[in-house]
Amino acid sequence: MNTNFDTIAHIIRARRTVKATAMNGQKIPQSAIEQLLSLADHAPTHGRTEPWRFKIYTGSALKEFGQEHAQLYWENTPEDKRVEIKRDGLLLSAERASHLLIVTMKRTPNSKIPLMEEYAAVAAAVQNILLGAEALQLAAIWSTGGMALKPEMKTLLQLSEEDQVVGFLYLGYTDEPKREPMRRISIDDKTHWV
Ligand SMILES: Cc1cc2nc3c(=O)[nH]c(=O)nc-3n(C[C@H](O)[C@H](O)[C@H](O)COP(=O)(O)O)c2cc1C
């Protein structure tokens, strides 16, 4: 019997991160991206602040953003710490992904909701997208690499002081085989029944 639980459990267990550099450049239809955004919008939200925001890049805008990101990395990393492979990875990610969703947290002014809870609500929205992407057989990664969490990125994205980048979601397709699920700590060791 195929219950709703079986369906969602299969999607949750099957989801695996795919690096943007392992994507193949194939384009996702915009309607699919819109479907994912509508799932994000159903995340739980304390005080109904709905703090998730999305900036979506595709096509030439994504490639331009990749160049800006790579340049930002290069210019803001001390010479002895710069890694060419890292810079090239940022460029390649923008070449191979279909879409980049920059997910940010919009801090509600004068909110009684703790910052951590607004961040948590956005993280739940991100997971909704990742699960929807799995159900649509898309490749996806939640990345905070490169300059994603650096103050220079906030400036580039014109975020206000209290707002935060929560993740860069690269979406696309891949030709690579799916990795097996791997968890280091068993669920029993993370659980205490009382
Ligand atoms: C907040 C957050 C940030 C992440 N940032 C990166 C990243 O910058 N680069 C990366 O390769 N993976 C990143 N990941 C993905 C993890 O590497 C991945 O979830 C982990 O390896 C487990 O694999 P799975 O997603 O396939 O279960 C991030 C995940 C989270 C939750």
What is the 19 CA–ligand 1 centroid distance (Å)?
A: 9
- Give the residue whose CA is nearest to atom 29 of ligand 1: 142
Q: pTM higher than 0.85 for the full model?
A: yes
Amino acid found at 66: G
User: Hunting for tokens 């709905």 — which residue is that?
Assistant: 50
- Give the residue whose CA is nearest to atom 19 of ligand 1: 17
Task: Supply the pLDDT for residue 182.
Answer: 87
Written as six digits, the tokens of 13 are: 């267990």
The SS3 assignment for 187 reads: helix
Give the tens place of pLDDT for each residue, 47-61.
999 999 999 999 999
Q: Which residues line ligand 1 (CB under 6 A)?
A: 16-17, 19, 141-145, 167
Give the tens place of pLDDT for each residue, 17-56.
999 999 999 999 999 999 999 999 999 999 999 999 999 9
Instruction: Give the C-alpha separation, 15 to 98, whole Å.
Output: 18
Cβ contact 106:162 at 8 Å: no
Task: Supply the pLDDT for residue 18.
Answer: 98
What is the 161 CA–ligand 1 centroid distance (Å)?
A: 25
- Give the residue whose CA is nearest to atom 27 of ligand 1: 16
Helix 30-40 × helix 115-135 angle, to 10°: 140
Cβ contact 148:94 at 8 Å: no
What is the 16 CA–ligand 1 centroid distance (Å)?
A: 9
Amino acid found at 61: A
Written as six digits, the tokens of 33 are: 């991206």
Which residues 6+ apart lie within 8 Å of 44 measured at CB? 121, 124
